[in-house]
Amino acid sequence: MSSVAGRFKATAGRVHLFNLSPAHGSQSTQKRLGRGRSSGLGKTSGRGHKGQKARAGNGKPKAGFEGGQTPIVKLFPKRGFVNPERKVYAPVNLDRIQHWIDQGRLTSSPEKPITAKELLLSGCIHQVHDGIKLLASVSPSCVASRMLYNVFLQGAEHLKTAIHITAARASQSAIRAVEKKGGTVFCKYYNELALRDCVKGRTDRIEAAPTKKNDILWYTSWRNRGYLSPTALDKMPPTLVHERWRELSKQLLAFKSQEYEKAK
């Protein structure tokens, strides 16, 4: 309770229903229009005289109207298109994951790798967007020397433990850095539904395989540590591999050995 001398009401003795009052300044009177001169809001009720704004109903032109001048939304031409297949990945750097492991907020093992769910629930990531992309953050001073093979990476240098992570995508430097410390990275295809099930922990649904050509090429190559590449299916712990993936991998890579008749 405020004990400023000027505002403190010295109410005597007992507290009763008749000597309660609200905190000073906590409640203000309502503005009532059109109730006489002395209120200050009589007659025109704060609207001034005539004009569009003084009228009943909305009293305003439509949004964006500039009085007849070509509005800013019409001055410039439309440009381009919006790609519905655009994917935005939530980036996570290796040094951030290492910090979380040091604090004890994240743990990983080959049988229980870090997925989008663990990263989200531990606060490492705030939104999963269309999936996680594992990155090794590169400081600006290192960009110039990227031509060197063993470039000194700022984020990667903080990684000390072996982590096992399943992401939607991973950068080459991140893959190199994780495997150098003895960890594993596998990249798995998540569509919207699969990502939602991963985050909510639902395992009863079958996760869809990639259908687009670019996705298939990406996730069947070992360079990206794609989960449908034959090497990855051998290296992943058997508890995590679905039988369906082996069949999918076989069928999706069949194009490499297929022959076709050339046009005459």
Partner 1 sequence: MSSLIRPEENVNPAEELVELDPHVFYHPIRRDILHLCVVHYLDCQRQGSASTKTRGEVRGSGHKIRPQKGSGRARLGDAQSPMLRGGGVAFGPKPRDFATKLNRKVIQMGMRVALSARVKEQSLGVVRSLEWPEPKTKTLKDRIEELGWWKTLFVTGLDRVPDGLARASSNLPMVETVTAADLNVYNTLKWPRIVLDLAAVEWFERVLGKPQVPPREYKL
Among 7, 11, 193, 202, binds partner 1 (CB under 8 A): 11
From 174, 179, 153, 149, select the one nearest 91 (Cα to Cα).
Answer: 174
CA distances from 13 to 8, 9, 10, 16, 24 (A): 14, 12, 9, 9, 20
Rounded distance between C-alpha atoms, residue 178 and residue 157, angstroms:
10
| Binding of residue 30 to partner 1 (CB under 8 A) | no
| Binding of residue 103 to partner 1 (CB under 8 A) | yes
Rounded distance between C-alpha atoms, residue 179 and residue 62, angstroms:
59
Smallest gap, in angstroms, from Cβ of residue 105 to partner 1?
9
| Binding of residue 23 to partner 1 (CB under 8 A) | yes
Q: Cβ contacts of residue 64 below 8 Å, gap of 6+?
A: 71, 72, 73
- Report yes or no: 195 and 131 within 8 Å, Cβ to Cβ: yes
| Binding of residue 16 to partner 1 (CB under 8 A) | yes
| Binding of residue 6 to partner 1 (CB under 8 A) | no
Size of interface with partner 1, in residues (CB under 8 A): 16
| Binding of residue 44 to partner 1 (CB under 8 A) | no
Among 4, 6, 21, 201, binds partner 1 (CB under 8 A): 21
Smallest gap, in angstroms, from Cβ of residue 99 to partner 1?
11
Q: Where on the chain is the footprint of partner 1 (CB under 8 A)?
A: 1, 11, 13-17, 19-23, 26, 102-104
